[in-house]
Structure 1
């Protein structure tokens, strides 16, 4: 990483830290520059203004997020939909764990109605929907997944993956769990896998039917 990239990284890290504490509107370019230890002019040079810095943060996060989905989608050519789906679960949780401050800010920011958020919806969110739908439909076609609504499955999986990083304070204060720790990610992945097995995968359908038949007769 050259000097310019290091400076940009310092500014981005400072902005994420302040945005999480004071909010986007409550944070000034001057305070970001002071936190990063750089001149205000450097922020203008790299990002234009505070809006440009916000866009950089959002794009950086969703580029990494969607890259995981796209790679899993490409893997459908060689591995099962079930493997692709759990790869998404594992990698997105670890991605957010590694970028937990940025994830918290971005997830909070996309709940607001703004031109930037609408643009993100039309680009990154629509791509996310496309990749998830393709993987789920492939699983249904191969009878690995139950024939359920692709849209509702996608919504439920997304909620499971993003909630710990959109509301980390709630999880810390109420449950005394820490989403930024590896232990949390490992245990949470186990529970999501169990949920997928019980709710989505067809592997237990024969066993369930047998149990129902025994109960009926």
Structure 2
């Protein structure tokens, strides 16, 4: 078996899924691009749905771990914690733009794997975001808002550039995989946090350590 065959298969699958769509990509297409035989794909992933599931899991395992790592510093303040999460997620998505774009497009479909992802990883994400917003309200860092609608706004800011990469490039002439985009966009999201979320009220003593 070819050394690093698994990595080559995943890389080829992400590229083809992203350009041709999941349904428009065959196992033979993936094997050809990865320079392996179809038996190698069967060995590592069983079949195309197994490969799709691996891509989802690979993306969301890392995505959630970045949220969890940042959330560990919540006692420093809700705003600081949220800004770190946003920075880490934007960087991760920009570095993995093809995988990110493909996953987000597939997440719009109603399928068993998407429902499983929602019932595990996306509920975890909601848990952390909800906790951050609740702490921010409690500590007077954030103005009171409806948490579900805050999550909608935050998720839209995090996802839009990677869901619509063609629009970003062809219409706006913005390239989400470039460092300049990451730096500029992060400033804009931080402005949303500062101006839309944050309160001018003093933080309660002992509520958060700045």
For normalisation by structure 1, the TM-score amounts to 0.90
Q: CA RMSD in A?
A: 1.3
Q: Work out whether 1:202 is the aligned partner of 2:199.
A: yes
Matches within 5 A, 1:51-130: 51-77=49-75, 79-130=76-127
Check whether the contact 1:144–1:201 (CA below 8 A) recurs between aligned residues: yes
Equivalence for 2:26: 28
1:153-186 CA deviation, whole Å, 9 max, x = no partner?
1111111011101111101111101000000010
Q: Name the larger-Rg structure.
A: 1
Check whether the contact 2:79–2:193 (CA below 8 A) recurs between aligned residues: no
- Secondary structure of residue in 2 paired with 1:124: helix
Query: Which sits farther off after the overlay, 65-74 or 153-162?
Result: 65-74
Tell me how far apart the structure 2 counterparts of residues 74 and 20 of structure 1 sit (CA, whole Å): 33
Point out where structure 2 has 5 or more consecutive residues left out of the alignment: 203-210
1:164-216 CA deviation, whole Å, 9 max, x = no partner?
0111110111110100000001000111111111110113x69xxxxxxxxxx
- Give 1:73 deviation, angstroms: 2.0
2:38 corresponds, among 17, 26, 40, to 40
Tell me how far apart the structure 2 counterparts of residues 148 and 182 of structure 1 sit (CA, whole Å): 32
Point out where structure 1 has 5 or more consecutive residues left out of the alignment: 207-217
2:179 corresponds, among 177, 182, 186, to 182
- Give 1:47 deviation, angstroms: 0.3
Tell me how far apart the structure 2 counterparts of residues 84 and 32 of structure 1 sit (CA, whole Å): 40
Relative contact order higher in (CA < 8 Å, ≥ 6 apart):
2
- Give 1:9 deviation, angstroms: 1.0
**Runs of 4+ residues deviating >3 angstroms:** none
- Secondary structure of residue in 1 paired with 2:24: coil
Check whether the contact 1:73–1:134 (CA below 8 A) recurs between aligned residues: no
- Give 1:75 deviation, angstroms: 1.6
- Secondary structure of residue in 1 paired with 2:148: helix
